[in-house]
Structures are given as structure tokens and as C-alpha cells.
Amino acid sequence: MELLKGKIKKEGIVLSENVLKVDSFINHQMDPILMKEIGKEFANRFRNENITKVLTIESSGIAPAIMTGLELEVPVIFARKRKSLTLTSDLYTSTVYSYTKKETNEITVSQKYILEGDNVLIIDDFLANGQAAIGLAEIVEKAKAKVSGIGILIEKSFQPGAEDIISKGYRLESLARIKSLHNEDVQFVD
Ligand code: G4P
């Protein structure tokens, strides 16, 4: 998606060989016009999958997920990383280890919101090692629903997540695919 790639080129800051900072439009300040276009793009790419729910994980996945849900006119659910005061029983859970942050999160979704027969589109901002997306897919499968696709804003193609997701048979659509962050420069996959 050229709009997103242009924004990354202009405003992204390469922090290391592995980490790209996009705080000015995704992870802290958010660009609603870009998010609206991202929602349209995912909706177009997954239009034929008869999506019934969009699933993401807090917090940075929520903005693109809600815009996608708006376009597809389906509900949007976000998995929680922290325990909720009111969500205490009948939960689907999955354990997600972050190699980047070196921490483990138990992610949860209420059993009320993903139902057998749902066609679920998973959306997230970054794909690095794929643990968040795979954890979300596990939750969908525990609910006997279908993972109809995984939509990612920024895939770091030099990390193993994308290959892992594809090898598990899921349809992956990434809007910007980064080949390398060498020499403080963002190189996209062609
Ligand atoms: P994985 O899910 O693909 O295995 O990714 P990983 O554990 O490595 O990532 C953990 C967190 O770090 C995620 O955010 C992910 O979005 C973020 N992340 C990974 N690589 C990058 C990067 O290059 N740049 C930025 N800006 N973020 C990256 P999170 O902890 O869920 O945070 P948030 O959604 O609450 O913002």
C-alpha cells in the first residue's frame, strides 16, 4: 500500500536493525485518515471471505481493526493483555511470548464474542515473530470459528512471523513489507 509505505519512509525512525519506530502515526499519535484508508484496503482484500468478525489485540491493533470493521460492517473485538475487572469468566485464553519485549502475556477474549461458524479476520499493526497473530488464531480455533485471514500493517519480512503464519496455512496480507532496516534505512520487499 503506497500511502502507508510513503508514510513509513517519511516519518518512520529506524531504532536498530530490528526495530522501526512509527509513533507519529500508529503507536502513539495516530493518523485517522491513513487508518481509514487502511480499513478500506483490508476490506477490499478480504471482501470475498464473508468476514463476520474482526479480531485484534490491544492497543495499537485497535485503530486499524475498527476502521476495517467499519468498512466491512462487522463487530470488532480486541483481545486483552491485562486482566479486566468485569471480564472474569468464560474466557478463551492463549499465551503470547514477545521476543522483542521478552515478556509473556496471557491474552483473553470472552467466549460470548467469537462463536462457532464465525469467519474471523485478524488485524495487527506489526508482524515480527508472529506470536501475537498466532495467539489470536489459537483463540479463534478454540472457539471453533475460522481464521479467514490475517491483515498486518507492517510486516518485518526478515523476521520469522510471516513464514510461520503462511506455513500454518493462513492467508496473510501485509500492507507494507520490510526487507531490511540496515544502515538506518527502510528497504521494502519489491
Ligand atoms: P510478534 O507478536 O510478531 O511476535 O511481535 P513481538 O512479540 O516481537 O512484538 C511485541 C510488541 O512489539 C508488539 O506490540 C509489536 O507490535 C511491537 N513491535 C514488534 N516489532 C516492532 C517494531 O519494529 N516497531 C514497533 N514500533 N513495534 C514493534 P505490543 O506490545 O502489543 O504494543 P501495543 O500494541 O500495545 O503498542
| 87 compared with 40, residue with greater pLDDT | 40
CA gap 188, 59 in Å, rounded: 25
Residue 107 lies in a domain: yes
The pLDDT assigned to 66 comes to: 98
- Tens of pLDDT, residue by residue over 42-65, are 999 999 999 999 999 999 999 999
The pLDDT assigned to 87 comes to: 72
CA gap 49, 125 in Å, rounded: 21
Q: Which domain holds residue 136?
A: 2-185
What's the structural domain count of the chain?
Answer: 1
Q: Is the CB of 105 under 6 A from ligand 1?
A: no
130 known member of a binding site: yes
In this structure, are residues 118 and 91 in contact, taking their beta carbons and an 8 Å threshold?
A: no
83 known member of a binding site: no
Residue 117 lies in a domain: yes
Task: Report the separation in Å between the CA atom of 128 and the middle of ligand 1, taken as the mean of its atom positions.
Answer: 7
Residue 143 lies in a domain: yes
The pLDDT assigned to 186 comes to: 98
Q: Whose CA is nearest to atom 28 of ligand 1?
A: 126
CA gap 38, 16 in Å, rounded: 26
The pLDDT assigned to 159 comes to: 97
CA gap 50, 121 in Å, rounded: 10
CATH (domain of 82): 3.40.50.2020
Residue 190 lies in a domain: no
Task: Report the separation in Å between the CA atom of 100 and the middle of ligand 1, taken as the mean of its atom positions.
Answer: 7
Residue 96 lies in a domain: yes
